[in-house]
């Protein structure tokens, strides 16, 4: 898995590519937790390059989403969601929780 973060005016853009599974989810979790601890609560995750999302990855997304939304401070939004990842979110009932956008520009502009 490869991760890059960019602090924008409205939010933090996190580009993710590769597999998010049990061995890579802790790295993603640590990156997002560090951003939360530094006072960032608005996230756009560009998951266009993600090829696999395991339950460990879903747990990281949900925990970050909850932490960001606590006290109405922010949100976590997904951009460029591949069909396979969208199916996983649909099967778990999480499609309604995460706002999904077809491009990063739309996702960042939604804040």
pLDDT of residue 101: 94
2-109 CATH pick, 2.60.40.1730, 3.30.750.24, 2.60.40.2300, 1.10.3210.10: 3.30.750.24
Q: What is the pTM of this model?
A: 0.90
Delimit the domains of the chain by residue range: 2-109
- Alpha-carbon distance of 110 to 105, in angstroms, equals 9
Q: Is the pLDDT of residue 27 over 90?
A: yes
pLDDT of residue 72: 84
pLDDT of residue 12: 95
pLDDT of residue 24: 94
pLDDT digits (tens, 9 = 90+) for 53-102: 999 999 999 999 999 998 888 999 999 999 999 998 999 998 888 899 99
Long-range contacts of 71-75 (CB under 8 A, 24+ apart): 73/41, 74/11, 74/40, 74/41, 74/42, 74/43, 75/41, 75/42, 75/43, 75/99, 75/111
């Amino acid at each position: 898995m490869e991760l890059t973060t960019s602090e924008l005016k409205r939010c933090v853009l996190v580009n993710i590519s590769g597999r998010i599974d049990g061995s890579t989810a802790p790295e993603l979790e640590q990156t997002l937790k560090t951003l939360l601890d530094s006072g960032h609560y608005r996230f756009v995750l560009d998951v266009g390059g993600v090829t696999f999302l395991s339950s460990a990855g879903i747990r990281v997304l949900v925990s970050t989403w909850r932490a960001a939304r606590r006290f109405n401070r922010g949100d976590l939004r997904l951009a460029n969601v591949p069909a396979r990842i969208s199916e996983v979110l649909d099967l778990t009932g999480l499609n309604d929780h995460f706002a999904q956008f077809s491009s990063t520009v739309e996702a960042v502009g939604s804040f």
